Structure 1
Amino acid sequence: MRIHLASVFVDDQEQALRFYTEVLGFVKKHDIPLGEHRWLTVVSPQDPDGTELVLEPGAHPAVNPFKEALVTDGIPFTSFAVDDVKAEYERLRGLGVRFTQEPVDMGPVTTAVLDDTCGNLIQIAHQAG
């Protein structure tokens, strides 16, 4: 068994697509119209056949209260692996990304937390080893 899809609920799919591709560097994999919304996925350019991230419309009534509670408590919705948290932090800050947590070295793991502009906090992390 392996993970094929993971989802992140977004406020606006078009805005999310721009942020996740143009800023974070993911690549669009699928973009299929489904009425008011789209089946929209992105992948890592280093693993184009790997796990797809679904930019899921946050239309369900439970989504906004859930996302707001996580943001209020400073809890990231998901985590992305990077090779160098500090370098990625500097690169993204240079692109105007707002971070709620600067890089923190926690022994074997270094993390930082960013605002994805679509209602979520996202952690970037590197685990030594």
Structure 2
Amino acid sequence: MSDPYLPGSLINSQLIASLAARTALETPGVLRLEPTLEGFLARLGPAALRSLRHPGSQDGSYRHDGVTATINDGTARVDLDIATDIAYTALTVAEAVQQRIHENISHTGLTPGRIHIHILSIEPRPE
């Protein structure tokens, strides 16, 4: 007897957000993600209710601690708020993060869309 088919997808906006966050934090020059009040308030809005109603849906948005991931028609878009190390050139760090996220999204079978990296702070690495 075979297992019943379960509709849904393993690749959703929450997974893409997690992938983007992990990728950013593994990139040299990134100190941390920068959660914003705007992101927190947006997480409490209608998108949160939609994700509760359709947890297996591939289309939709997910926001958490400085990362917003949106999947629409097989295309994943990411907005990421980060703090960078002053010892690195901010533009170089942002480009590296953007490229690495693009590559990782392409491995999921989704088409990478726009990937916006917002540098909210540049500071020395804590001792």
Q: TM-score, normalised by structure 2?
A: 0.34
- Relative contact order, CA 8 A, sep 6+: which one is greater? 2
- Higher Cα Rg, which structure: 2
User: TM-score, length-normalised on structure 1?
Assistant: 0.34
More strand by share: 1
- Bigger proportion of residues as helix: 2
